[in-house]
Structure 1
Amino acid sequence: MTTPGWWPRRSRRVRGEDLVRSLYNEHGASLLAYATRLTNDRAAAEDIVQETLLRAWKHSDALTAEKGSVRGWLLTVARNIVTDRARARAVRPPEVAEVTESPSVERDHADQVVDSMAMLGALDSLSPEHREVLVEIYYKGRTVTEAAQALGIAAGTVKSRSYYALRALRAVMSGGKTGTEVPR
């Protein structure tokens, strides 16, 4: 009979899988709790417990009553594994995700100029009232209320003109009608 925390001298009865199972049953919960406290990561703690038990199996001759507490030995091994992993992460350069896609091509300034010219041409095809509303809201960044005050019209009128102006602008930009038929 053994006392808790001590492991009998290696014998034919306790070997291999039985040794690991017995160690896990007796010390697994405390090992997991200790490793979790050290790492703040349950998955990493489970890996550390597995590695600790693997080392106990490989070095079962160290698990004797003459050498001290088995639990103490296991906790020391777990702490050493955590330390080793932290040191390994510290000296290893950070991992960078492999980029399989080709780098995106920046839009050329010429494309922006062409888009601006197309937009100005489309705006010119709108009635002056609709153009004024879009300029106030989208180019000057004003709210509906601010645009209404600047233009001296009601907020509802700004909303209505904005709706019809955008509809006409879409038609012009997609090659449809000129936008002069938009209700005022």
Structure 2
Amino acid sequence: MVMLRARNRAAVADEAQILSLYEEHGRTLLAYATRLTGDRGAAEDVVQETLVRAWRHPDALVSEKGSVGGWLLTVTRNIVTDRYRRRSVRPPEVAESAASPAVQGDHADEVVNSMTVLAALARLSPEHRDVLTEIYFRDASVAEAARALGVPPGTVKSRSHYALAALRRTFGIRSARVPQVTA
């Protein structure tokens, strides 16, 4: 009975660790795997396999050799590479589509940069984040952003100014020129 309780506690701890890994790194892993595979469904399978490997090798998650995120991205890339190698050795059962191109290269730097920017944006207030999303990600003008957000154009300009200033502080940039938002 005591042994059964210990196993249950260990299983709950393992599940909590994998859930924590997924919450922290899941979006990044999925974006990376989707970029490598070109197929969202295949990418989801790759992320699932990555987390299974993390579960099987918990020592890699506490290793002092590098970051957990880096290890997970490497495992993801290796899984995708293995899938393409397996596919190239066997004759295809179904004709391959042009939607699943071969792995071109390692995009880890771009993924790390994206993770860094997303983390910095998450620290901004919702109002500042919304303004930057409208102007820089949706390529809206000040007037379009003001209409979308339901605020005056002057508010869009000032929020974008303060949001960019906060991002510069986050990244330790002191005197960089950031493009001014114009009407």
> Same fold per TM (> 0.5)?
no
Shorter-normalised TM range: 0.3 to 0.5
The structure whose residues are more often helix, as a share, is: 2
Which structure is larger by alpha-carbon Rg, 1 or 2? 1
Q: TM-score, normalised by structure 2?
A: 0.44
